[in-house]
Chain A
Amino acid sequence: MKQHRQTQGRECKMRNRYYYGLLAVWVCMLFAGTICKANDNTLHIHGFISQGYMKSDTNNYLTDSEEGSFQFNEMGLNFLKQATDKLNLGMQFFARDLGPTDNDAIMVDWAYADYRFRDYLGFRAGRIKNPIGLYHETRDVDMQRTCILLPEAAYTDNFRDAIMATNGVSVYGDFLSENTGNLSYKLIIGTNNIKNDGGTVFAAVGSYWDVTDTEIGTTGAGSLWWTDPTNQVKLGGTYGIISEMDLEAVTNQFAYSGLGLPAGLHSAFKVENILSWIVSAEITTTSFLFAAEYRRLETEFKGIIKLPSSQPDYIEQDDTRGEGYYALVSHRFSDIFEAGYYYSVIYPNMDDKDGDNQKENEKFRAWRKDQALSFRFDMNSNWTFKLEGHYIDGCAAMYNRLNPDGFHRYWYLFVSKLSYSF
Protein backbone atom coordinates (compact mmCIF):
# COMPACT_ATOMS: atom_id res chain seq x y z
CA MET A 1 0.00 0.00 0.00
CA LYS A 2 2.81 2.33 1.05
CA GLN A 3 4.74 1.39 -2.08
CA HIS A 4 1.65 2.06 -4.18
CA ARG A 5 1.32 5.51 -2.61
CA GLN A 6 4.99 6.23 -3.26
CA THR A 7 4.55 5.17 -6.89
CA GLN A 8 1.48 7.38 -7.21
CA GLY A 9 3.45 10.26 -5.68
CA ARG A 10 6.28 9.76 -8.16
CA GLU A 11 3.83 9.63 -11.06
CA CYS A 12 2.11 12.78 -9.80
CA LYS A 13 5.44 14.63 -9.50
CA MET A 14 6.39 13.42 -12.97
CA ARG A 15 3.07 14.60 -14.38
CA ASN A 16 3.51 18.02 -12.73
CA ARG A 17 7.03 18.23 -14.13
CA TYR A 18 5.59 17.48 -17.54
CA TYR A 19 2.93 20.17 -17.35
CA TYR A 20 5.41 22.79 -16.07
CA GLY A 21 7.79 21.78 -18.86
CA LEU A 22 5.04 21.99 -21.46
CA LEU A 23 3.97 25.39 -20.16
CA ALA A 24 7.56 26.65 -20.26
CA VAL A 25 8.00 25.42 -23.84
CA TRP A 26 4.83 27.13 -25.01
CA VAL A 27 5.55 30.42 -23.20
CA CYS A 28 9.00 30.46 -24.77
CA MET A 29 7.47 29.66 -28.17
CA LEU A 30 5.13 32.64 -27.81
CA PHE A 31 7.95 35.06 -27.08
CA ALA A 32 10.73 33.40 -29.06
CA GLY A 33 10.00 35.13 -32.36
CA THR A 34 10.22 38.53 -30.68
CA ILE A 35 13.43 37.63 -28.86
CA CYS A 36 15.07 36.25 -32.02
CA LYS A 37 14.22 39.31 -34.05
CA ALA A 38 15.24 41.74 -31.31
CA ASN A 39 18.98 41.31 -31.83
CA ASP A 40 20.79 38.69 -33.89
CA ASN A 41 23.83 38.97 -31.65
CA THR A 42 22.00 38.14 -28.47
CA LEU A 43 20.21 34.92 -27.60
CA HIS A 44 18.72 32.69 -30.31
CA ILE A 45 15.82 30.51 -29.18
CA HIS A 46 14.39 27.67 -31.22
CA GLY A 47 12.14 24.75 -30.43
CA PHE A 48 9.96 21.94 -31.66
CA ILE A 49 6.99 20.02 -30.38
CA SER A 50 5.21 17.05 -31.89
CA GLN A 51 2.34 14.77 -30.96
CA GLY A 52 1.86 11.39 -32.55
CA TYR A 53 -0.61 8.56 -32.56
CA MET A 54 0.14 4.85 -33.09
CA LYS A 55 -2.24 2.02 -33.90
CA SER A 56 -1.41 -1.56 -34.79
CA ASP A 57 -3.71 -4.41 -35.76
CA THR A 58 -1.83 -6.74 -33.41
CA ASN A 59 1.41 -6.66 -31.32
CA ASN A 60 2.16 -3.69 -29.07
CA TYR A 61 5.00 -1.70 -30.61
CA LEU A 62 6.85 0.63 -28.20
CA THR A 63 3.53 1.57 -26.59
CA ASP A 64 0.00 0.11 -26.25
CA SER A 65 -0.40 0.47 -30.00
CA GLU A 66 -2.93 -2.35 -30.35
CA GLU A 67 -5.48 -0.23 -28.49
CA GLY A 68 -4.17 2.94 -30.13
CA SER A 69 -1.89 5.26 -28.19
CA PHE A 70 -1.09 8.96 -27.95
CA GLN A 71 1.90 8.21 -25.69
CA PHE A 72 4.16 9.33 -28.48
CA ASN A 73 5.44 12.90 -28.32
CA GLU A 74 8.64 14.94 -28.32
CA MET A 75 9.45 18.52 -27.44
CA GLY A 76 12.65 20.50 -27.35
CA LEU A 77 13.73 24.03 -26.66
CA ASN A 78 17.19 25.36 -27.31
CA PHE A 79 19.23 28.46 -26.61
CA LEU A 80 22.21 29.47 -28.74
CA LYS A 81 24.58 32.37 -28.29
CA GLN A 82 27.64 33.49 -30.15
CA ALA A 83 30.00 34.56 -27.37
CA THR A 84 32.84 35.60 -29.71
CA ASP A 85 33.64 35.11 -33.42
CA LYS A 86 35.04 31.66 -32.65
CA LEU A 87 33.11 30.64 -29.52
CA ASN A 88 29.47 29.53 -29.46
CA LEU A 89 27.49 28.43 -26.40
CA GLY A 90 24.27 26.47 -26.49
CA MET A 91 21.96 24.01 -24.80
CA GLN A 92 18.78 22.13 -25.58
CA PHE A 93 16.15 20.85 -23.16
CA PHE A 94 14.24 17.83 -24.34
CA ALA A 95 11.34 15.68 -23.19
CA ARG A 96 9.49 12.82 -24.81
CA ASP A 97 6.97 10.13 -24.05
CA LEU A 98 7.01 6.77 -25.78
CA GLY A 99 4.86 4.15 -24.10
CA PRO A 100 6.43 3.05 -20.82
CA THR A 101 9.67 4.98 -21.36
CA ASP A 102 10.68 8.56 -20.55
CA ASN A 103 7.19 9.88 -19.58
CA ASP A 104 8.00 13.46 -20.58
CA ALA A 105 10.69 13.92 -17.95
CA ILE A 106 12.74 16.95 -18.94
CA MET A 107 16.40 16.30 -19.67
CA VAL A 108 19.36 18.17 -21.10
CA ASP A 109 19.65 16.87 -24.65
CA TRP A 110 22.90 18.67 -25.36
CA ALA A 111 24.79 21.57 -23.80
CA TYR A 112 28.25 22.55 -24.88
CA ALA A 113 30.80 25.24 -25.58
CA ASP A 114 32.07 25.16 -29.17
CA TYR A 115 35.41 26.77 -30.06
CA ARG A 116 36.09 26.73 -33.81
CA PHE A 117 39.80 27.44 -34.15
CA ARG A 118 39.88 26.85 -37.93
CA ASP A 119 37.45 25.27 -40.40
CA TYR A 120 39.48 22.06 -40.14
CA LEU A 121 39.76 22.07 -36.33
CA GLY A 122 37.23 22.82 -33.62
CA PHE A 123 36.73 21.75 -30.01
CA ARG A 124 33.61 21.10 -27.98
CA ALA A 125 33.14 20.42 -24.27
CA GLY A 126 29.95 19.51 -22.42
CA ARG A 127 27.11 17.19 -23.32
CA ILE A 128 27.40 16.44 -27.04
CA LYS A 129 25.09 14.43 -29.33
CA ASN A 130 26.80 11.33 -30.70
CA PRO A 131 27.10 11.00 -34.47
CA ILE A 132 25.37 7.72 -35.37
CA GLY A 133 24.46 7.18 -38.98
CA LEU A 134 22.99 9.90 -41.16
CA TYR A 135 20.09 10.96 -38.96
CA HIS A 136 20.67 10.14 -35.27
CA GLU A 137 21.55 13.65 -34.19
CA THR A 138 18.11 14.94 -35.23
CA ARG A 139 16.12 11.73 -34.74
CA ASP A 140 13.79 13.47 -32.26
CA VAL A 141 13.00 16.37 -34.57
CA ASP A 142 10.13 15.04 -36.63
CA MET A 143 10.24 17.84 -39.20
CA GLN A 144 13.71 16.82 -40.38
CA ARG A 145 12.55 13.87 -42.47
CA THR A 146 9.78 12.41 -44.57
CA CYS A 147 9.06 9.35 -42.41
CA ILE A 148 7.80 9.40 -38.83
CA LEU A 149 9.60 6.33 -37.51
CA LEU A 150 13.21 6.16 -38.66
CA PRO A 151 14.21 2.70 -39.95
CA GLU A 152 15.01 0.65 -36.86
CA ALA A 153 17.68 -1.19 -38.81
CA ALA A 154 19.97 1.73 -38.01
CA TYR A 155 18.01 3.72 -35.44
CA THR A 156 16.83 1.19 -32.90
CA ASP A 157 15.25 2.40 -29.68
CA ASN A 158 17.15 -0.27 -27.76
CA PHE A 159 20.22 1.29 -26.10
CA ARG A 160 18.89 4.65 -27.25
CA ASP A 161 19.51 6.57 -24.00
CA ALA A 162 22.97 5.00 -23.62
CA ILE A 163 24.16 6.05 -27.07
CA MET A 164 22.22 9.31 -27.39
CA ALA A 165 24.92 11.70 -26.20
CA THR A 166 28.26 11.84 -24.42
CA ASN A 167 29.27 14.02 -21.48
CA GLY A 168 32.80 14.79 -22.51
CA VAL A 169 34.97 16.48 -25.09
CA SER A 170 35.03 16.48 -28.85
CA VAL A 171 37.30 17.45 -31.71
CA TYR A 172 35.83 18.08 -35.16
CA GLY A 173 36.45 19.82 -38.46
CA ASP A 174 35.99 20.03 -42.22
CA PHE A 175 38.69 19.71 -44.86
CA LEU A 176 37.37 21.66 -47.84
CA SER A 177 38.67 20.81 -51.29
CA GLU A 178 37.94 22.49 -54.59
CA ASN A 179 38.04 19.34 -56.70
CA THR A 180 37.57 16.33 -54.44
CA GLY A 181 34.76 17.49 -52.16
CA ASN A 182 34.65 17.95 -48.39
CA LEU A 183 35.84 15.58 -45.70
CA SER A 184 34.23 16.08 -42.27
CA TYR A 185 35.26 14.34 -39.08
CA LYS A 186 34.11 14.24 -35.46
CA LEU A 187 35.52 12.41 -32.43
CA ILE A 188 33.89 12.38 -28.97
CA ILE A 189 34.99 10.77 -25.71
CA GLY A 190 33.48 10.84 -22.22
CA THR A 191 30.70 9.03 -20.40
CA ASN A 192 26.90 9.07 -20.07
CA ASN A 193 24.03 8.48 -17.66
CA ILE A 194 20.99 6.30 -18.35
CA LYS A 195 17.56 6.18 -16.80
CA ASN A 196 16.22 3.25 -14.78
CA ASP A 197 13.17 3.09 -17.04
CA GLY A 198 14.77 3.84 -20.42
CA GLY A 199 15.01 1.74 -23.56
CA THR A 200 18.56 0.59 -22.70
CA VAL A 201 17.36 -0.99 -19.47
CA PHE A 202 14.48 -2.77 -21.21
CA ALA A 203 16.85 -4.04 -23.89
CA ALA A 204 19.47 -5.24 -21.43
CA VAL A 205 17.43 -6.94 -18.69
CA GLY A 206 14.14 -7.81 -20.36
CA SER A 207 10.74 -7.81 -18.73
CA TYR A 208 11.24 -9.60 -15.42
CA TRP A 209 13.38 -7.11 -13.52
CA ASP A 210 13.00 -3.57 -12.24
CA VAL A 211 16.32 -1.75 -12.39
CA THR A 212 17.30 0.19 -9.28
CA ASP A 213 20.72 1.58 -10.22
CA THR A 214 22.74 2.08 -13.40
CA GLU A 215 26.30 3.06 -14.19
CA ILE A 216 28.08 3.54 -17.50
CA GLY A 217 31.83 3.44 -18.14
CA THR A 218 33.69 5.29 -20.88
CA THR A 219 31.82 6.10 -24.06
CA GLY A 220 33.18 7.24 -27.38
CA ALA A 221 31.91 8.03 -30.85
CA GLY A 222 33.30 9.14 -34.16
CA SER A 223 32.24 9.94 -37.70
CA LEU A 224 33.89 10.47 -41.07
CA TRP A 225 31.90 11.85 -44.02
CA TRP A 226 32.80 12.67 -47.58
CA THR A 227 30.57 15.01 -49.59
CA ASP A 228 31.08 15.37 -53.34
CA PRO A 229 31.84 18.80 -54.85
CA THR A 230 28.24 19.19 -56.09
CA ASN A 231 26.93 18.66 -52.56
CA GLN A 232 24.64 15.82 -53.63
CA VAL A 233 26.42 12.63 -52.62
CA LYS A 234 27.32 11.89 -49.01
CA LEU A 235 29.23 8.75 -48.04
CA GLY A 236 30.72 7.78 -44.73
CA GLY A 237 30.64 5.89 -41.53
CA THR A 238 30.09 6.32 -37.81
CA TYR A 239 31.37 4.36 -34.85
CA GLY A 240 30.30 4.24 -31.21
CA ILE A 241 31.46 2.28 -28.18
CA ILE A 242 30.43 1.96 -24.53
CA SER A 243 33.12 0.22 -22.49
CA GLU A 244 30.75 -1.18 -19.86
CA MET A 245 27.33 -0.76 -18.32
CA ASP A 246 26.41 -2.03 -14.83
CA LEU A 247 22.80 -2.48 -13.77
CA GLU A 248 21.45 -3.38 -10.33
CA ALA A 249 17.95 -4.88 -10.40
CA VAL A 250 15.31 -6.88 -8.52
CA THR A 251 12.90 -9.39 -10.01
CA ASN A 252 9.36 -8.01 -10.40
CA GLN A 253 5.86 -9.54 -10.26
CA PHE A 254 6.18 -10.93 -13.82
CA ALA A 255 9.28 -13.03 -12.93
CA TYR A 256 7.29 -15.87 -11.37
CA SER A 257 5.07 -16.50 -14.39
CA GLY A 258 7.90 -15.94 -16.87
CA LEU A 259 10.90 -17.55 -15.15
CA GLY A 260 9.52 -19.27 -12.05
CA LEU A 261 11.49 -16.84 -9.84
CA PRO A 262 9.94 -15.05 -6.86
CA ALA A 263 9.75 -11.25 -6.87
CA GLY A 264 12.43 -9.29 -5.00
CA LEU A 265 15.56 -11.30 -5.91
CA HIS A 266 18.59 -9.06 -6.29
CA SER A 267 20.43 -9.37 -9.60
CA ALA A 268 23.37 -7.68 -11.25
CA PHE A 269 23.83 -7.26 -14.98
CA LYS A 270 26.92 -6.23 -16.84
CA VAL A 271 27.02 -5.43 -20.53
CA GLU A 272 30.52 -4.85 -21.88
CA ASN A 273 31.97 -3.51 -25.11
CA ILE A 274 28.74 -2.30 -26.65
CA LEU A 275 30.00 -1.55 -30.11
CA SER A 276 28.04 -0.07 -32.98
CA TRP A 277 29.15 0.97 -36.44
CA ILE A 278 27.22 2.13 -39.47
CA VAL A 279 28.22 2.72 -43.07
CA SER A 280 25.96 5.11 -44.94
CA ALA A 281 25.23 6.57 -48.35
CA GLU A 282 22.88 9.40 -49.22
CA ILE A 283 22.12 10.97 -52.60
CA THR A 284 19.98 14.10 -52.83
CA THR A 285 18.68 15.85 -55.89
CA THR A 286 16.34 18.82 -55.82
CA SER A 287 13.33 16.54 -55.56
CA PHE A 288 14.60 13.05 -54.66
CA LEU A 289 16.42 11.62 -51.68
CA PHE A 290 17.94 8.14 -51.70
CA ALA A 291 19.63 6.70 -48.61
CA ALA A 292 20.93 3.33 -47.51
CA GLU A 293 22.70 2.27 -44.33
CA TYR A 294 24.14 -0.92 -42.85
CA ARG A 295 24.58 -1.27 -39.09
CA ARG A 296 26.33 -3.71 -36.77
CA LEU A 297 25.68 -3.80 -33.01
CA GLU A 298 27.78 -6.06 -30.79
CA THR A 299 27.37 -6.64 -27.05
CA GLU A 300 28.93 -8.85 -24.37
CA PHE A 301 26.27 -9.60 -21.74
CA LYS A 302 26.61 -11.13 -18.26
CA GLY A 303 23.74 -11.52 -15.78
CA ILE A 304 24.12 -12.68 -12.15
CA ILE A 305 20.93 -13.57 -10.28
CA LYS A 306 21.23 -14.04 -6.52
CA LEU A 307 18.98 -17.02 -5.76
CA PRO A 308 17.32 -17.49 -2.32
CA SER A 309 18.88 -19.48 0.58
CA SER A 310 22.16 -21.28 -0.02
CA GLN A 311 21.79 -21.93 -3.77
CA PRO A 312 24.70 -20.65 -5.89
CA ASP A 313 24.15 -17.56 -8.01
CA TYR A 314 22.65 -18.18 -11.44
CA ILE A 315 24.96 -16.78 -14.10
CA GLU A 316 24.01 -16.18 -17.72
CA GLN A 317 26.46 -15.06 -20.39
CA ASP A 318 25.69 -14.13 -23.97
CA ASP A 319 27.74 -12.37 -26.63
CA THR A 320 25.57 -11.05 -29.44
CA ARG A 321 26.24 -9.60 -32.86
CA GLY A 322 23.26 -7.93 -34.47
CA GLU A 323 22.87 -6.32 -37.87
CA GLY A 324 20.41 -4.18 -39.73
CA TYR A 325 20.14 -2.50 -43.10
CA TYR A 326 17.67 -0.35 -44.96
CA ALA A 327 17.12 1.60 -48.16
CA LEU A 328 14.80 4.56 -48.50
CA VAL A 329 13.60 6.89 -51.19
CA SER A 330 11.56 10.05 -50.88
CA HIS A 331 10.23 12.47 -53.45
CA ARG A 332 9.02 16.04 -53.06
CA PHE A 333 6.03 16.55 -55.35
CA SER A 334 5.38 20.19 -54.41
CA ASP A 335 6.12 22.80 -51.72
CA ILE A 336 3.39 21.16 -49.66
CA PHE A 337 3.60 17.43 -50.34
CA GLU A 338 6.34 14.81 -50.05
CA ALA A 339 6.14 11.01 -50.02
CA GLY A 340 8.64 8.33 -49.07
CA TYR A 341 9.13 4.59 -48.84
CA TYR A 342 11.65 2.45 -47.00
CA TYR A 343 12.45 -1.21 -46.49
CA SER A 344 14.26 -2.00 -43.26
CA VAL A 345 15.59 -5.34 -41.99
CA ILE A 346 16.87 -6.02 -38.49
CA TYR A 347 18.47 -9.17 -37.02
CA PRO A 348 19.32 -8.71 -33.30
CA ASN A 349 21.39 -11.90 -33.51
CA MET A 350 23.00 -12.31 -36.92
CA ASP A 351 24.14 -15.83 -35.99
CA ASP A 352 20.49 -16.88 -35.71
CA LYS A 353 18.75 -15.24 -38.65
CA ASP A 354 16.32 -18.16 -39.09
CA GLY A 355 15.23 -18.15 -35.45
CA ASP A 356 16.59 -21.60 -34.56
CA ASN A 357 17.36 -20.36 -31.04
CA GLN A 358 13.83 -19.01 -30.58
CA LYS A 359 10.80 -20.97 -29.34
CA GLU A 360 9.40 -23.25 -32.04
CA ASN A 361 6.26 -21.14 -32.58
CA GLU A 362 8.13 -17.80 -32.32
CA LYS A 363 10.99 -18.19 -34.82
CA PHE A 364 9.90 -14.86 -36.34
CA ARG A 365 11.27 -13.09 -33.26
CA ALA A 366 14.71 -13.44 -34.87
CA TRP A 367 13.99 -10.82 -37.54
CA ARG A 368 11.87 -7.77 -38.34
CA LYS A 369 11.32 -6.74 -41.97
CA ASP A 370 9.51 -3.45 -42.15
CA GLN A 371 8.07 -1.75 -45.24
CA ALA A 372 6.88 1.81 -44.63
CA LEU A 373 5.05 4.29 -46.83
CA SER A 374 5.05 7.90 -45.58
CA PHE A 375 3.18 11.06 -46.61
CA ARG A 376 4.30 14.47 -45.42
CA PHE A 377 2.26 17.67 -45.66
CA ASP A 378 4.01 20.99 -44.99
CA MET A 379 1.22 23.37 -44.11
CA ASN A 380 3.75 26.19 -43.79
CA SER A 381 7.39 26.45 -42.72
CA ASN A 382 6.41 25.81 -39.07
CA TRP A 383 3.68 23.16 -39.21
CA THR A 384 3.94 19.64 -40.61
CA PHE A 385 1.48 16.75 -40.64
CA LYS A 386 2.45 13.18 -41.54
CA LEU A 387 0.74 9.86 -42.15
CA GLU A 388 2.59 6.56 -42.29
CA GLY A 389 1.68 2.91 -42.80
CA HIS A 390 3.89 -0.10 -42.04
CA TYR A 391 3.62 -3.72 -43.09
CA ILE A 392 5.90 -5.80 -40.90
CA ASP A 393 7.11 -9.40 -40.96
CA GLY A 394 8.62 -10.51 -37.65
CA CYS A 395 8.89 -9.19 -34.12
CA ALA A 396 12.60 -8.98 -33.32
CA ALA A 397 13.76 -6.51 -30.66
CA MET A 398 10.28 -5.81 -29.34
CA TYR A 399 9.38 -5.51 -25.65
CA ASN A 400 8.05 -8.71 -24.00
CA ARG A 401 6.64 -6.50 -21.27
CA LEU A 402 4.20 -4.89 -23.68
CA ASN A 403 3.21 -8.24 -25.20
CA PRO A 404 2.67 -10.68 -22.32
CA ASP A 405 0.36 -12.85 -24.46
CA GLY A 406 2.94 -13.39 -27.19
CA PHE A 407 3.48 -12.06 -30.70
CA HIS A 408 2.03 -12.40 -34.20
CA ARG A 409 4.37 -12.68 -37.20
CA TYR A 410 2.67 -10.45 -39.78
CA TRP A 411 1.23 -7.14 -38.65
CA TYR A 412 0.31 -3.61 -39.68
CA LEU A 413 1.17 -0.37 -37.94
CA PHE A 414 -0.35 3.04 -38.61
CA VAL A 415 1.32 6.21 -37.35
CA SER A 416 0.45 9.89 -37.65
CA LYS A 417 2.13 12.97 -36.28
CA LEU A 418 1.58 16.71 -36.08
CA SER A 419 4.68 18.86 -35.51
CA TYR A 420 5.51 22.50 -34.94
CA SER A 421 8.97 24.02 -34.94
CA PHE A 422 10.39 27.52 -34.98
Chain B
Amino acid sequence: MKNSRLKILRLIAIGILTVAVLVFTFLDQVSAAEDIYFICNKNIPVNTLSRNDIKNIFIGKKTTWDNQQKITFVVLKTENVYKEFLLEYLRKNKQQYELYWRQMIFTGEGFFPKFIDSEDKLIKFVAETDGAIGFLSHETDNDTVKIISISN
Protein backbone atom coordinates (compact mmCIF):
# COMPACT_ATOMS: atom_id res chain seq x y z
CA MET B 1 0.00 0.00 0.00
CA LYS B 2 2.79 2.36 1.02
CA ASN B 3 4.80 1.35 -2.06
CA SER B 4 1.91 2.03 -4.44
CA ARG B 5 1.39 5.47 -2.86
CA LEU B 6 5.07 6.19 -3.33
CA LYS B 7 4.85 5.13 -6.97
CA ILE B 8 1.87 7.44 -7.53
CA LEU B 9 3.72 10.32 -5.87
CA ARG B 10 6.75 9.64 -8.04
CA LEU B 11 4.60 9.64 -11.19
CA ILE B 12 2.99 12.94 -10.17
CA ALA B 13 6.43 14.46 -9.49
CA ILE B 14 7.72 13.29 -12.91
CA GLY B 15 4.57 14.67 -14.57
CA ILE B 16 4.98 18.07 -12.89
CA LEU B 17 8.66 18.17 -13.84
CA THR B 18 7.89 17.31 -17.48
CA VAL B 19 5.24 20.02 -17.72
CA ALA B 20 7.60 22.51 -16.06
CA VAL B 21 10.35 21.67 -18.58
CA LEU B 22 8.00 22.18 -21.53
CA VAL B 23 6.58 25.42 -20.12
CA PHE B 24 10.05 26.84 -19.43
CA THR B 25 11.25 25.75 -22.86
CA PHE B 26 8.54 27.73 -24.61
CA LEU B 27 8.30 30.67 -22.22
CA ASP B 28 12.03 31.25 -22.12
CA GLN B 29 12.20 32.40 -25.75
CA VAL B 30 12.87 36.08 -26.06
CA SER B 31 12.58 37.68 -29.46
CA ALA B 32 15.41 39.84 -30.69
CA ALA B 33 14.87 43.57 -30.73
CA GLU B 34 17.11 44.46 -33.65
CA ASP B 35 17.87 43.08 -37.09
CA ILE B 36 21.12 41.36 -37.91
CA TYR B 37 22.70 41.75 -41.38
CA PHE B 38 24.99 39.11 -42.86
CA ILE B 39 27.91 39.76 -45.18
CA CYS B 40 30.31 37.38 -46.87
CA ASN B 41 33.40 37.39 -49.03
CA LYS B 42 32.62 38.23 -52.67
CA ASN B 43 33.87 34.88 -53.98
CA ILE B 44 31.22 32.88 -52.08
CA PRO B 45 28.78 31.28 -54.57
CA VAL B 46 25.56 32.00 -52.62
CA ASN B 47 23.32 35.04 -52.20
CA THR B 48 20.78 33.55 -49.79
CA LEU B 49 21.13 31.37 -46.70
CA SER B 50 18.51 29.87 -44.43
CA ARG B 51 18.40 30.48 -40.69
CA ASN B 52 19.33 26.82 -40.30
CA ASP B 53 22.46 27.36 -42.45
CA ILE B 54 23.45 30.31 -40.25
CA LYS B 55 23.01 28.20 -37.12
CA ASN B 56 25.04 25.32 -38.53
CA ILE B 57 27.82 27.60 -39.75
CA PHE B 58 28.25 29.39 -36.41
CA ILE B 59 28.28 26.14 -34.40
CA GLY B 60 30.84 24.62 -36.77
CA LYS B 61 28.61 21.89 -38.19
CA LYS B 62 28.51 23.29 -41.74
CA THR B 63 32.17 23.70 -42.61
CA THR B 64 32.17 24.14 -46.39
CA TRP B 65 30.21 26.08 -49.02
CA ASP B 66 28.48 24.17 -51.81
CA ASN B 67 31.66 24.35 -53.94
CA GLN B 68 33.59 22.71 -51.05
CA GLN B 69 35.40 25.95 -50.23
CA LYS B 70 36.12 26.16 -46.49
CA ILE B 71 33.84 28.42 -44.44
CA THR B 72 35.54 30.91 -42.11
CA PHE B 73 33.03 32.56 -39.81
CA VAL B 74 33.70 35.60 -37.71
CA VAL B 75 31.70 36.82 -34.72
CA LEU B 76 31.09 40.49 -34.00
CA LYS B 77 31.58 40.80 -30.27
CA THR B 78 29.99 44.13 -29.53
CA GLU B 79 27.75 43.54 -26.51
CA ASN B 80 24.21 44.00 -27.86
CA VAL B 81 24.66 42.65 -31.40
CA TYR B 82 26.52 39.59 -30.15
CA LYS B 83 23.80 38.77 -27.61
CA GLU B 84 21.01 39.34 -30.09
CA PHE B 85 22.65 37.26 -32.78
CA LEU B 86 23.07 34.32 -30.36
CA LEU B 87 19.50 34.61 -29.15
CA GLU B 88 17.91 35.04 -32.56
CA TYR B 89 19.86 32.47 -34.57
CA LEU B 90 21.36 29.99 -32.10
CA ARG B 91 18.95 30.19 -29.14
CA LYS B 92 21.93 30.48 -26.81
CA ASN B 93 23.29 33.01 -24.34
CA LYS B 94 26.93 34.02 -24.54
CA GLN B 95 28.02 31.71 -21.73
CA GLN B 96 26.40 28.73 -23.47
CA TYR B 97 27.96 29.66 -26.82
CA GLU B 98 31.44 30.07 -25.37
CA LEU B 99 31.11 26.85 -23.34
CA TYR B 100 30.08 25.04 -26.51
CA TRP B 101 33.28 26.16 -28.21
CA ARG B 102 35.40 25.33 -25.16
CA GLN B 103 33.96 21.83 -25.42
CA MET B 104 35.08 21.67 -29.05
CA ILE B 105 38.56 22.89 -28.11
CA PHE B 106 39.08 20.56 -25.17
CA THR B 107 38.05 17.55 -27.25
CA GLY B 108 40.13 18.68 -30.24
CA GLU B 109 37.05 18.91 -32.45
CA GLY B 110 37.25 22.59 -33.32
CA PHE B 111 38.95 25.96 -33.00
CA PHE B 112 37.60 28.86 -31.00
CA PRO B 113 35.72 31.28 -33.33
CA LYS B 114 37.40 34.47 -34.43
CA PHE B 115 35.89 37.37 -32.49
CA ILE B 116 36.16 40.95 -33.77
CA ASP B 117 35.10 43.95 -31.71
CA SER B 118 34.39 46.54 -34.45
CA GLU B 119 32.17 46.48 -37.53
CA ASP B 120 34.82 48.17 -39.76
CA LYS B 121 37.41 45.56 -38.82
CA LEU B 122 34.90 42.80 -39.45
CA ILE B 123 34.07 44.12 -42.94
CA LYS B 124 37.79 44.34 -43.73
CA PHE B 125 38.40 40.77 -42.48
CA VAL B 126 35.50 39.33 -44.50
CA ALA B 127 36.59 41.21 -47.63
CA GLU B 128 40.15 39.87 -47.35
CA THR B 129 39.42 36.26 -46.31
CA ASP B 130 38.29 33.63 -48.81
CA GLY B 131 35.12 31.86 -47.71
CA ALA B 132 34.47 34.29 -44.83
CA ILE B 133 31.06 35.21 -43.40
CA GLY B 134 30.10 37.57 -40.58
CA PHE B 135 27.28 39.77 -39.33
CA LEU B 136 26.66 43.46 -38.64
CA SER B 137 24.09 45.51 -36.78
CA HIS B 138 23.34 47.71 -39.82
CA GLU B 139 23.19 47.46 -43.58
CA THR B 140 26.38 48.34 -45.42
CA ASP B 141 26.98 49.75 -48.91
CA ASN B 142 30.63 48.74 -48.79
CA ASP B 143 31.21 47.01 -52.16
CA THR B 144 34.18 44.96 -50.97
CA VAL B 145 31.78 42.42 -49.43
CA LYS B 146 28.57 40.69 -50.52
CA ILE B 147 25.25 41.09 -48.67
CA ILE B 148 23.56 37.79 -47.83
CA SER B 149 19.79 37.61 -47.49
CA ILE B 150 18.25 35.22 -44.99
CA SER B 151 15.28 32.98 -45.77
CA ASN B 152 13.23 31.34 -43.05
Chain A residues positioned under 8 Å from B108 (CB to CB): 78, 80, 88, 90-92, 110, 112, 114, 129
Q: How far is the CB of B65 from chain A (nearest CB, A)?
A: 11
Q: How many residues of B contact A (CB 8 A)?
A: 37
Give the residues from 58 to 96 in chain B that come closer than 8 angstroms, CB to CB, to chain A.
59, 61-64, 70, 87, 90-96
A48 within 8 A of B: yes
How many inter-chain contacts with C-beta < 8 Å in the A-B complex?
A: 105
- Of the candidates B52, B91, B96, B105, the one whose C-beta lies within 8 Å of that of A80 is B105
Beyond A286-B87, A290-B21, whether A44 also contacts B111 by CB under 8 A is: yes
Beyond A110-B108, A138-B106, whether A288 also contacts B24 by CB under 8 A is: yes
A232 within 8 A of B: yes
Beyond A80-B111, A85-B70, A332-B93, whether A141 also contacts B24 by CB under 8 A is: no
A285 within 8 A of B: yes
Q: How far is the CB of B142 from chain A (nearest CB, A)?
A: 23
Give the residues from 13 to 64 in chain B that come closer than 8 angstroms, CB to CB, to chain A.
17, 21, 24-25, 28-30, 50, 52, 55-56, 59, 61-64
State A44–B106 Cα separation when bound (angstroms): 12
- Of the candidates B17, B55, B63, B106, the one whose C-beta lies within 8 Å of that of A46 is B106
Beyond A119-B62, A141-B106, A332-B95, whether A285 also contacts B25 by CB under 8 A is: yes
Beyond A80-B108, A116-B63, A178-B50, whether A284 also contacts B96 by CB under 8 A is: yes
- Evaluate contact between A285 and B24: CB separation under 8 angstroms: yes
Chain B residues in the interface with A (C-beta under 8 A):
17, 21, 24-25, 28-30, 50, 52, 55-56, 59, 61-64, 70, 87, 90-96, 98-99, 102-103, 105-109, 111-112, 114
Question: 6 closest pairs, A vs B, by CB?
Answer: A285-B28, A90-B108, A85-B70, A137-B107, A286-B93, A290-B21
The 14 sampled A-B contact pairs (Cβ below 8 Å) are A44-B112, A46-B105, A78-B105, A86-B70, A119-B62, A144-B103, A176-B61, A231-B55, A231-B90, A284-B91, A285-B29, A286-B91, A287-B28, A288-B24
